[in-house]
Amino acid sequence: MPSRVHPIDVPREALGIMTARTLANSHPTLLGLLRPGLDVLDVGCGPGTLTIETARRALPGRVVGLDLNPEMLAAAREASPPGALPNLTFLSGDIRDSGWHEEFDLVNAARVLQWIPDVAGALTAMVAAARGGGLVVVLDYDHTLARWSDPPAAWTRFYDAFLAWREAGRLDNAIVRRLPALLEHAGLTELRTIPQVTAVRQEDPDFYRISGTWRLVADSRGRQMVEAGWLTDAERNAAVAAYTAWMQAPRAALTIHEACVLGRRPGGRRSRG
Protein backbone atom coordinates (compact mmCIF):
# COMPACT_ATOMS: atom_id res chain seq x y z
CA MET A 1 0.00 0.00 0.00
CA PRO A 2 1.33 3.46 -0.84
CA SER A 3 2.31 5.88 1.89
CA ARG A 4 -0.64 8.16 1.13
CA VAL A 5 -4.27 7.75 2.03
CA HIS A 6 -5.99 5.82 -0.75
CA PRO A 7 -9.22 7.65 -1.59
CA ILE A 8 -12.31 5.54 -2.18
CA ASP A 9 -15.45 6.05 -4.21
CA VAL A 10 -18.01 7.41 -1.79
CA PRO A 11 -21.54 5.94 -2.00
CA ARG A 12 -24.36 8.39 -1.32
CA GLU A 13 -25.32 6.18 1.63
CA ALA A 14 -21.86 6.81 3.12
CA LEU A 15 -22.29 10.55 2.78
CA GLY A 16 -25.67 10.26 4.50
CA ILE A 17 -24.15 8.47 7.47
CA MET A 18 -21.20 10.84 7.75
CA THR A 19 -23.35 13.95 7.49
CA ALA A 20 -25.48 12.64 10.37
CA ARG A 21 -22.48 13.17 12.62
CA THR A 22 -22.35 16.14 14.96
CA LEU A 23 -19.64 17.27 17.30
CA ALA A 24 -21.86 16.20 20.20
CA ASN A 25 -22.45 12.65 18.95
CA SER A 26 -19.07 11.92 17.37
CA HIS A 27 -16.36 14.29 18.64
CA PRO A 28 -17.39 15.70 22.04
CA THR A 29 -13.83 16.55 23.06
CA LEU A 30 -13.43 18.95 20.14
CA LEU A 31 -16.83 20.44 20.91
CA GLY A 32 -15.64 21.32 24.41
CA LEU A 33 -12.50 23.02 23.09
CA LEU A 34 -14.04 25.36 20.53
CA ARG A 35 -14.31 29.08 21.28
CA PRO A 36 -15.14 32.15 19.16
CA GLY A 37 -12.04 33.50 17.44
CA LEU A 38 -10.02 30.27 17.25
CA ASP A 39 -8.23 29.51 13.99
CA VAL A 40 -8.78 25.79 13.28
CA LEU A 41 -7.39 23.32 10.75
CA ASP A 42 -9.49 20.16 10.22
CA VAL A 43 -7.35 17.44 8.62
CA GLY A 44 -9.33 14.85 6.68
CA CYS A 45 -12.52 16.87 6.84
CA GLY A 46 -14.58 14.46 4.72
CA PRO A 47 -17.98 15.89 3.67
CA GLY A 48 -17.37 18.85 5.97
CA THR A 49 -20.19 18.31 8.43
CA LEU A 50 -18.07 18.71 11.55
CA THR A 51 -15.91 21.37 9.89
CA ILE A 52 -18.96 23.51 9.16
CA GLU A 53 -20.16 23.18 12.75
CA THR A 54 -16.64 24.05 13.91
CA ALA A 55 -16.61 27.16 11.71
CA ARG A 56 -19.91 28.37 13.14
CA ARG A 57 -18.64 27.93 16.69
CA ALA A 58 -15.23 29.50 15.96
CA LEU A 59 -16.48 32.66 14.21
CA PRO A 60 -14.75 34.99 13.54
CA GLY A 61 -11.77 32.63 13.63
CA ARG A 62 -10.48 31.13 10.39
CA VAL A 63 -11.37 27.46 9.73
CA VAL A 64 -9.82 25.31 6.98
CA GLY A 65 -11.03 21.84 6.01
CA LEU A 66 -8.43 19.70 4.23
CA ASP A 67 -9.10 16.43 2.38
CA LEU A 68 -7.69 14.35 -0.48
CA ASN A 69 -10.95 12.84 -1.69
CA PRO A 70 -12.59 14.91 -4.44
CA GLU A 71 -16.04 13.46 -3.77
CA MET A 72 -15.82 14.38 -0.11
CA LEU A 73 -14.67 17.90 -0.95
CA ALA A 74 -17.47 18.30 -3.49
CA ALA A 75 -20.00 17.32 -0.83
CA ALA A 76 -18.39 19.74 1.66
CA ARG A 77 -18.51 22.63 -0.79
CA GLU A 78 -22.10 21.80 -1.67
CA ALA A 79 -23.04 21.84 2.01
CA SER A 80 -21.27 25.18 2.52
CA PRO A 81 -20.60 26.98 -0.77
CA PRO A 82 -17.83 29.60 -0.88
CA GLY A 83 -18.98 32.66 1.02
CA ALA A 84 -21.73 30.92 2.97
CA LEU A 85 -19.52 31.09 6.04
CA PRO A 86 -16.98 33.89 5.66
CA ASN A 87 -14.43 32.14 7.87
CA LEU A 88 -14.55 28.69 6.20
CA THR A 89 -12.42 27.32 3.35
CA PHE A 90 -12.16 23.77 1.97
CA LEU A 91 -8.86 22.77 0.36
CA SER A 92 -7.62 19.67 -1.44
CA GLY A 93 -4.32 18.27 -0.23
CA ASP A 94 -2.22 16.04 2.02
CA ILE A 95 -1.26 17.49 5.40
CA ARG A 96 2.31 16.30 4.86
CA ASP A 97 2.62 18.56 1.82
CA SER A 98 0.86 21.56 3.34
CA GLY A 99 3.77 23.67 4.55
CA TRP A 100 1.70 25.54 7.16
CA HIS A 101 3.81 27.05 9.91
CA GLU A 102 2.28 28.29 13.17
CA GLU A 103 -1.00 29.40 11.56
CA PHE A 104 -3.68 27.69 13.69
CA ASP A 105 -4.74 27.69 17.33
CA LEU A 106 -6.10 24.16 17.01
CA VAL A 107 -5.28 21.38 14.52
CA ASN A 108 -7.71 18.46 14.46
CA ALA A 109 -7.69 15.02 12.78
CA ALA A 110 -10.68 12.76 13.48
CA ARG A 111 -10.53 9.12 12.37
CA VAL A 112 -7.94 10.01 9.73
CA LEU A 113 -4.52 8.86 10.92
CA GLN A 114 -5.72 5.25 10.97
CA TRP A 115 -5.47 5.41 7.15
CA ILE A 116 -1.94 6.83 6.96
CA PRO A 117 1.07 4.51 7.32
CA ASP A 118 3.32 7.55 7.85
CA VAL A 119 1.58 8.71 11.02
CA ALA A 120 4.72 10.40 12.34
CA GLY A 121 5.03 12.50 9.19
CA ALA A 122 1.41 13.58 9.38
CA LEU A 123 1.75 14.54 13.05
CA THR A 124 4.94 16.48 12.37
CA ALA A 125 3.08 18.58 9.80
CA MET A 126 0.11 19.03 12.13
CA VAL A 127 2.34 20.24 14.95
CA ALA A 128 4.14 22.60 12.55
CA ALA A 129 0.76 24.07 11.55
CA ALA A 130 -0.11 24.83 15.19
CA ARG A 131 0.95 28.08 16.82
CA GLY A 132 3.00 28.07 19.98
CA GLY A 133 0.55 27.35 22.78
CA GLY A 134 -1.90 25.79 20.32
CA LEU A 135 -3.51 22.37 20.51
CA VAL A 136 -3.24 19.27 18.33
CA VAL A 137 -6.28 16.99 18.70
CA VAL A 138 -6.44 13.45 17.32
CA LEU A 139 -9.45 11.14 17.53
CA ASP A 140 -9.07 7.56 16.31
CA TYR A 141 -9.95 3.89 16.76
CA ASP A 142 -8.71 0.76 18.42
CA HIS A 143 -10.10 -1.65 15.83
CA THR A 144 -8.87 -4.67 17.78
CA LEU A 145 -11.43 -4.01 20.54
CA ALA A 146 -14.55 -3.67 18.35
CA ARG A 147 -17.24 -6.19 19.31
CA TRP A 148 -20.54 -7.25 17.75
CA SER A 149 -23.16 -9.36 19.53
CA ASP A 150 -23.63 -12.75 17.85
CA PRO A 151 -22.06 -11.61 14.58
CA PRO A 152 -22.74 -13.70 11.46
CA ALA A 153 -19.86 -15.90 10.32
CA ALA A 154 -19.53 -14.00 7.02
CA TRP A 155 -19.01 -10.76 8.94
CA THR A 156 -16.43 -12.29 11.28
CA ARG A 157 -14.49 -13.60 8.27
CA PHE A 158 -14.62 -10.16 6.68
CA TYR A 159 -13.51 -8.32 9.79
CA ASP A 160 -10.60 -10.69 10.42
CA ALA A 161 -9.50 -10.15 6.81
CA PHE A 162 -9.99 -6.38 7.21
CA LEU A 163 -7.59 -6.26 10.17
CA ALA A 164 -5.05 -8.44 8.33
CA TRP A 165 -5.31 -6.29 5.17
CA ARG A 166 -4.75 -3.13 7.16
CA GLU A 167 -1.77 -4.62 9.01
CA ALA A 168 -0.19 -5.75 5.72
CA GLY A 169 -0.56 -2.17 4.47
CA ARG A 170 1.28 -0.82 7.54
CA LEU A 171 -1.90 0.66 8.98
CA ASP A 172 -2.09 0.48 12.76
CA ASN A 173 -5.23 -1.31 13.96
CA ALA A 174 -4.75 0.01 17.49
CA ILE A 175 -3.35 3.42 16.68
CA VAL A 176 -4.84 5.12 19.74
CA ARG A 177 -2.47 3.14 21.94
CA ARG A 178 0.56 4.70 20.19
CA LEU A 179 -0.77 8.21 19.85
CA PRO A 180 0.40 9.54 23.25
CA ALA A 181 4.00 8.51 22.53
CA LEU A 182 3.79 9.80 18.96
CA LEU A 183 2.45 13.18 20.07
CA GLU A 184 5.12 13.45 22.74
CA HIS A 185 7.82 12.56 20.20
CA ALA A 186 6.40 15.26 17.90
CA GLY A 187 7.15 17.79 20.64
CA LEU A 188 3.77 18.25 22.30
CA THR A 189 3.30 18.70 26.03
CA GLU A 190 0.34 18.62 28.46
CA LEU A 191 -0.82 15.38 26.84
CA ARG A 192 -4.28 14.06 27.65
CA THR A 193 -6.04 10.87 26.55
CA ILE A 194 -9.83 10.81 26.69
CA PRO A 195 -11.38 7.37 26.03
CA GLN A 196 -14.49 7.37 23.86
CA VAL A 197 -16.32 4.04 24.07
CA THR A 198 -19.59 3.81 22.14
CA ALA A 199 -22.01 0.97 22.87
CA VAL A 200 -25.32 0.85 21.00
CA ARG A 201 -28.19 -1.60 20.76
CA GLN A 202 -30.69 -2.08 17.98
CA GLU A 203 -33.35 0.01 19.74
CA ASP A 204 -31.04 3.00 20.25
CA PRO A 205 -31.59 6.09 18.08
CA ASP A 206 -27.94 6.15 16.97
CA PHE A 207 -27.73 2.43 16.18
CA TYR A 208 -28.15 2.63 12.42
CA ARG A 209 -25.73 5.51 12.02
CA ILE A 210 -23.00 3.74 13.96
CA SER A 211 -23.62 0.17 12.78
CA GLY A 212 -24.17 1.39 9.23
CA THR A 213 -20.67 2.81 9.16
CA TRP A 214 -19.31 -0.72 9.31
CA ARG A 215 -21.65 -1.99 6.62
CA LEU A 216 -20.15 0.67 4.38
CA VAL A 217 -16.63 -0.39 5.36
CA ALA A 218 -17.44 -3.86 4.02
CA ASP A 219 -18.87 -2.36 0.87
CA SER A 220 -16.22 0.26 0.06
CA ARG A 221 -12.99 -0.89 1.71
CA GLY A 222 -14.09 -4.43 0.92
CA ARG A 223 -13.77 -3.62 -2.78
CA GLN A 224 -10.17 -2.58 -2.21
CA MET A 225 -9.59 -5.83 -0.33
CA VAL A 226 -10.98 -7.82 -3.26
CA GLU A 227 -8.69 -5.97 -5.68
CA ALA A 228 -5.73 -6.76 -3.40
CA GLY A 229 -6.63 -10.44 -3.12
CA TRP A 230 -7.68 -10.50 0.52
CA LEU A 231 -11.29 -11.45 -0.25
CA THR A 232 -13.34 -12.78 -3.11
CA ASP A 233 -16.18 -10.62 -4.34
CA ALA A 234 -18.56 -13.37 -3.23
CA GLU A 235 -17.16 -13.15 0.31
CA ARG A 236 -17.53 -9.38 0.32
CA ASN A 237 -21.12 -9.59 -0.90
CA ALA A 238 -21.89 -12.27 1.68
CA ALA A 239 -20.47 -10.10 4.45
CA VAL A 240 -22.54 -7.08 3.37
CA ALA A 241 -25.73 -9.15 3.10
CA ALA A 242 -25.19 -10.95 6.41
CA TYR A 243 -24.36 -7.72 8.23
CA THR A 244 -27.40 -5.95 6.76
CA ALA A 245 -29.60 -8.77 8.06
CA TRP A 246 -27.84 -8.70 11.44
CA MET A 247 -28.64 -4.99 11.81
CA GLN A 248 -32.36 -5.88 11.83
CA ALA A 249 -32.02 -8.42 14.66
CA PRO A 250 -33.68 -7.27 17.92
CA ARG A 251 -30.62 -8.21 19.98
CA ALA A 252 -28.06 -6.62 17.67
CA ALA A 253 -25.49 -4.56 19.57
CA LEU A 254 -21.96 -3.35 19.06
CA THR A 255 -19.23 -1.61 21.00
CA ILE A 256 -16.61 0.60 19.37
CA HIS A 257 -13.48 1.80 21.16
CA GLU A 258 -11.92 5.14 20.30
CA ALA A 259 -9.86 7.72 22.17
CA CYS A 260 -9.12 11.39 21.73
CA VAL A 261 -5.49 12.30 22.40
CA LEU A 262 -4.45 15.94 22.57
CA GLY A 263 -1.38 17.93 23.39
CA ARG A 264 -0.12 21.50 23.33
CA ARG A 265 2.69 22.91 21.25
CA PRO A 266 5.14 24.67 23.59
CA GLY A 267 5.97 28.35 23.26
CA GLY A 268 4.06 31.43 22.25
CA ARG A 269 0.97 32.72 23.91
CA ARG A 270 -1.37 30.05 25.19
CA SER A 271 -4.33 29.68 22.83
CA ARG A 272 -7.91 29.82 24.06
CA GLY A 273 -8.52 26.17 23.18
C-alpha span between 253 and 234 (Å, rounded): 25
Note every long-range contact of 231-235, with CB atoms under 8 Å and residues 24 or more positions apart, other chains counting.
Answer: 231/158, 231/161, 235/154, 235/157, 235/158, 235/161
C-beta separation of 220 from 14 below 8 A:
yes
Q: Is the pTM of this model over 0.75?
A: yes
| CATH number 3.40.50.300 is the correct assignment for the domain at 12-264 | no
- pLDDT at position 14 over 90: no
The proportion of the chain whose per-residue pLDDT surpasses 90, expressed as a percent, equals: 87
Confidence of residue 73 (pLDDT cuts 50, 70, 90): very high
| Strand extents, DSSP E, the chain | 40-43, 63-67, 88-92, 104-110, 130-141, 147-148, 189-201, 253-264
Domain boundaries, the chain: 12-264
pLDDT tens by residue, 202-244: 999 999 999 999 998 998 899 999 999 999 999 999 999 999 9
What pLDDT, on the 0 to 100 scale, is given for residue 2? 34
What's the average model confidence in pLDDT over 64-74?
Answer: 94
